[in-house]
Amino acid sequence: MAARDEILAKLRAAAAPAVELPDLSRFAPVTYPDLRERFAKSVIEVGGRCVFVAGSLQDELAKIPEFANARRSVSLVPGVEGNVDLTAVSDPHELNDIDFCVVPAEFGVAENGACWITDHGRANRAVCFLTQHLAIVVRDLVHNLHQAYERIQMPGRGFAMFLSGPSKTADIEQALVIGAHGARSCTVLVTS
Amino acid sequence: MTAGHPRRALQLVQNPERLHWHDQAVWFVRQKRDIARSFVPEWEELRSLASQIKAHALSRLPDYLEQFESRAKAAGAVVHWARDADEHNRIVLSLLRERGVTRLVKSKSMLTEECKLNEHLEAHGIEVVDTDLGERIVQFRREPPSHIVMPAIHLKKEEIGALFHDELGTPEGLSDPKALAEAARVHMREKFLAAQAGLTGVNFAIASTGGVVVCTNEGNADLGTSLPPLHIACMGVEKIVPSPRELAVFLRLLARSATGQPITTYTSHFHGPKPGGEMHIVIVDHGRSRILARPEFRASLKCIRCAACMNTCPVYRRSGGHSYGVTVPGPIGSVLARQRDLPPMPRKSFRAQWRDRGRAR
Amino acid sequence: MEVALFIPCYVDQLYPQVGMATATLLERLGVKVHFPEAQTCCGQPMANSGFFDDARPLAARMLRVFEPYQVVVCPSGSCTSMVRNHFPELLPGAPRLPVYELVEFLHDVLKAPLRGRFPFRVGLHQSCHGLRELRLGSGSERLVPAFSKTADLLAGIEGLQLVELSRSDECCGFGGTFAVTEEAVSCAMGRDRIADHERAGAEVIAGGDVSCLMHLEGLLRRDGKRLRTMHVAELLAEATA
């Protein structure tokens, strides 16, 4: 018998008694009186920076030293200028020297500062991980992950992620180090 | 507890300074978890929901696995099935060989530890680089992880400094965690850029969409899968959740329980390969169907590997992960090991069997 | 009210004073106390080691011996839990024994306000079985409103000051047969527990399980420490004398 059928047959024979899937619609998770305030707090807690954008995005970005000093930058946000055109890059390895990347998020989650970022099938999602510094532009916020998944339309095919702050590790004696493999800083720009 | 544990525990117990350092380091993580969950008033309800969802998924495991397989295929992934560790290792090796891969980067996967995949691949001439910092440290030392979330929690920064001096050429005496992590970043960037394939574990597999979710803080799973063309994801059969909405329950629990973070930095959802690439998912049994068949052990398949049981366990904290002598140490490991890594215990004592015989006569 | 005492075998043999204190305390509170002498071990050591078939006849015997009584009281969390939580697994369908752990009985059933005097700083050792299987307290790992039935009882005792421990409910390392098979880790845990009580300035370690206290007492004696251990029954009997 093929491995697949043998494993499935064994699992069927193991026959754990039927258990109902709990009804999550009756579950009332925590919500916050001030969504924006809670989101900003969470972003800071996970090691990020949070900026509420009143004027132009480009002006806010210019205030970030890592953006201002970036030699090579990528922007996936309309209206924000980068100097590397991602569509012209055929091999993601060429993106290793990107200093700054600006990406749009579909929404942010107040309870944990995470932003839902999809790649819309773009070939070069590697830029989000290779870049030295990252900025995320987001407008909509939800309270918690339950609301988040209610909202998400999972792509039939493709990549998507919750990203919460900069890359980090505490693998050496529990000491928190920001900038493990991925972005060394993460600024979340909340537009209205 | 596993056989030989008392003897192996002596290494830590007989060194009171190190014993208290280890106890305190791990207890610190338990405290971070306590603080994190205090911001979630519905915490206990969340835990109970998670347990019910897992019980449900286990009760319909074959159906969900079939659904997962068909959706994953529709998303463009290739699905493989492995009865045991050997079959799993053979599948991974042949995927790599067929494509001429000699350099593989891995993100954390306790399943591949369980299957001893690294040894198998290395024996066949493939360079395997564990890219989680803690995993890389223990890989340099040629020892298994001592904790499933913090693989190098048993080591002091001075020891890691000396190791990096030998392996990476960092200055002698350098033990600042930030500087050591930076050295590892530079070293690992080269490995990521040179890799021909990336292998990840799977935290959750979504039956309704055929996607897999991988959680890391460092971003290593994402670098490892977005650069090379081949992504291999290895999962135990028990990783199934019915649909994305249940993910919310588990993701709210996982990182808070594990490290006291509200969520891992990267929570990546893979549905099929990247454009122009390949994705292969290896679904592994390796004793899990046997655990499922035993009602008294079935609940151990609900484990999401958060390691909170290790952090709270006064025995683990005072004996160290290596003392258990099995892949997953600590409380949950002691339950799993009974089923997998060790010969079964006698079901009945002599006395009980003698009594049964008397009754039968 | 009338109760039957269930005195665990190791209390009977090694700490008879705890049994006597339990009886004295209950009688002082107006309870008529019986002691069915035919009682033996409840089977916990066998059951904890996985030998359910060896534990079963002892469980059956316990049920027979205590069958005539409406209320059974036991000065041990782990033995109470064995009877309440694990007998039904050993003997499915058998009648339940109406057993209460002593603190639970005083706190939940008798609800008698305890008045007395005990002018010492006391560290409370919350034994695992009492905490996690009988819920005598909240348990620091759970996100529920904090409570401790033992601390509630001690609150009425004048002069008694509960010290604050850095780890409010860490295991002492006894764990029944664990102390035998894992001597080194068990002793390390016990010594850490003692050190926590010492740092907090405790003069007495009080708890509801003699087994934990026996482990700590042994370590205290070997290490020549002055800190002493007392079962809650002993403490309350002395305080209310």
Q: Tell me the C-alpha distance between A88 and C186, whole Å.
A: 64
How much is the average pLDDT of B52-73?
97
Q: Sign (positive/negative) of CA torsion B47, B266, B213, B329?
A: negative
pLDDT of residue C98: 96
Q: What is the pLDDT of residues B259-305, one digit of tens each?
A: 999 999 999 999 999 999 999 999 999 999 999 998 889 999 999 99
Instruction: Check if C2-109 and C113-239 are the same fold.
Output: yes
pLDDT of residue B260: 97
A190, pLDDT greater than 80: yes
Q: What is the pLDDT of residues C163-201, one digit of tens each?
A: 999 999 999 999 988 999 999 999 999 999 999 999 999
Confidence at B359, pLDDT banded by 50, 70, 90 = confident
How much is the average pLDDT of A148-176?
94
Q: Tell me the C-alpha distance between B238 and C87, whole Å.
A: 32
C35, pLDDT greater than 80: yes
B343, pLDDT greater than 70: no
B347, pLDDT greater than 80: no
Q: How many domains does chain A have?
A: 1
Higher pLDDT, C13 or B78: B78
User: Which residue in chain A is spatially nearest to B187 when comparing CA positions?
Assistant: A181
Q: DSSP of A21-67, one letter per residue?
A: PP-GGG------S-HHHHHHHHHHHTT-EEEE--S-HHHHHHTSHHH
Contacts of B318 in chain C (CB under 8 A): 185, 188-189, 192
Domain that holds residue A50: 35-190
How much is the average pLDDT of B201-216?
98
At C42, phi and psi to the nearest 5?
A: -80, -10
The third-level CATH classification (topology) of the domain covering B5-155+196-336 is Rossmann fold (3.40.50)
A69, pLDDT greater than 70: yes
The answer to whether the beta carbons of residues B255 and B223 sit under 8 Å apart is no
pLDDT of residue B361: 81
Beta bridge partners of residue C125, listed in sequence order: C207
B344, pLDDT greater than 60: no
pLDDT of residue B1: 59
Q: Tell me the C-alpha distance between B143 and B129, whole Å.
A: 14
How large a percentage of chain B has pLDDT more than 70? 96
The answer to whether the beta carbons of residues B112 and B328 sit under 8 Å apart is no
In sequence order, what E strands does A122-170 have?
Answer: 133-138, 141-142, 158-163, 168-169
What is chain B's alpha carbon radius of gyration, rounded to the nearest angstrom?
Answer: 21
How much is the average pLDDT of C150-166?
97
User: Which of C53, C143, C178 comes nearest B349 by C-beta?
Assistant: C53
Higher pLDDT, B342 or C218: C218
The answer to whether the beta carbons of residues A70 and A96 sit under 8 Å apart is no
Interface check A129 vs B, CB under 8 A: yes
C227, pLDDT greater than 60: yes
C158, pLDDT greater than 60: yes
How large a percentage of chain A has pLDDT more than 90? 86
What Å distances lie between residue B217 and A71, A171, B138, B273, B304, CA to CA? 27, 10, 18, 22, 17
In sequence order, what E strands does chain B have?
Answer: 77-82, 103-106, 127-130, 197-200, 204-206, 211-216, 230-236, 240-241, 266-271, 278-284
Interface test with B, best of A169, A178, A186, A188 (most B CBs within 10 A): A169
Q: Tell me the C-alpha distance between C140 and C21, whole Å.
A: 30
How large a percentage of chain A has pLDDT more than 70? 99
Mean pLDDT of chain C: 95
The third-level CATH classification (topology) of the domain covering C2-109 is Rossmann fold (3.40.50)
pLDDT of residue A155: 78
8-state DSSP, B1: -
Q: Tell me the C-alpha distance between B26 and B318, whole Å.
A: 10
Q: What is the pLDDT of residues B90-135, one digit of tens each?
A: 999 999 999 999 999 999 899 999 999 999 999 999 999 999 999 9
Q: Tell me the C-alpha distance between A3 and B84, whole Å.
A: 9
Q: What is the pLDDT of residues A119-159, one digit of tens each?
A: 876 768 999 999 999 999 999 999 999 999 999 988 789 99
Q: Do B252 and A168 touch (CB under 8 A)?
A: no
Those chains having 3 or more beta-carbon pairs within 8 angstroms of chain B are A, C
In the block, which residue shows the tokens 């891995």? Answer: B106
pLDDT of residue B358: 84
User: Token pair of A72, please?
Assistant: 């090579």
CATH of domain C113-239: 3.40.50
Contacts of B10 in chain C (CB under 8 A): 184
Interface check A148 vs B, CB under 8 A: yes
- For residues B204-228, b (16+ Cβ closer than 10 Å) or e, as one string? bbbbbbbbbbbbbbbbbbbbbbbbb
How much is the average pLDDT of B214-225?
97
Instruction: Identify the CATH number of the domain in which residue A146 sits.
Output: 3.40.50.10420
The answer to whether the beta carbons of residues A77 and A57 sit under 8 Å apart is yes
Q: Tell me the C-alpha distance between B320 and B19, whole Å.
A: 9
- For residues C118-156, b (16+ Cβ closer than 10 Å) or e, as one string? bebebbbbbbbbbbbbbebbbbbebbeeeebbbbebbee
Confidence at B341, pLDDT banded by 50, 70, 90 = low
User: Which of A2, A93, A112 comes nearest B193 by C-beta?
Assistant: A93
Q: Do B314 and C189 touch (CB under 8 A)?
A: yes
Q: What is the pLDDT of residues B150-195, one digit of tens each?
A: 999 999 999 999 999 999 999 999 999 999 999 999 999 999 999 9
Q: Which of B27, B37, B34, B29 is nearest to B262 (CA)?
A: B37
Domain ranges of chain C: 2-109, 113-239
At A93, phi and psi to the nearest 5?
A: -60, -25
Contacts of A46 in chain B (CB under 8 A): 261-263, 265
The answer to whether the beta carbons of residues A45 and B259 sit under 8 Å apart is no
> Minimal Cα–Cα distance from C103 to chain B, Å?
25
Q: Tell me the C-alpha distance between A4 and A9, whole Å.
A: 9
User: Which residue in chain B is spatially nearest to C187 when comparing CA positions?
Assistant: B13
pLDDT of residue C138: 95
Q: Sign (positive/negative) of CA torsion A104, A108, A113, A117?
A: negative
Q: Do C184 and B1 touch (CB under 8 A)?
A: no
Mean pLDDT of chain B: 95
C18, pLDDT greater than 60: yes
- Residue C193, H or E segment: helix C183-199
Least confident window among A120-134, B205-219, B313-327, C110-124: A120-134
- For residues C228-238, b (16+ Cβ closer than 10 Å) or e, as one string? bbbbbbbbbbb
Q: DSSP of A95-129, one letter per residue?
A: GGG--EEEEE-SEEETTTTEEEEE-TT-TTTHHHH
The answer to whether the beta carbons of residues B135 and A155 sit under 8 Å apart is no
In the block, which residue shows the tokens 């989101």? Answer: A39
Task: List B residues 68-97 in contact with A (Cβ-Cβ < 8 A).
Answer: 69, 74-76, 81-83, 87
Mean pLDDT of chain A: 94
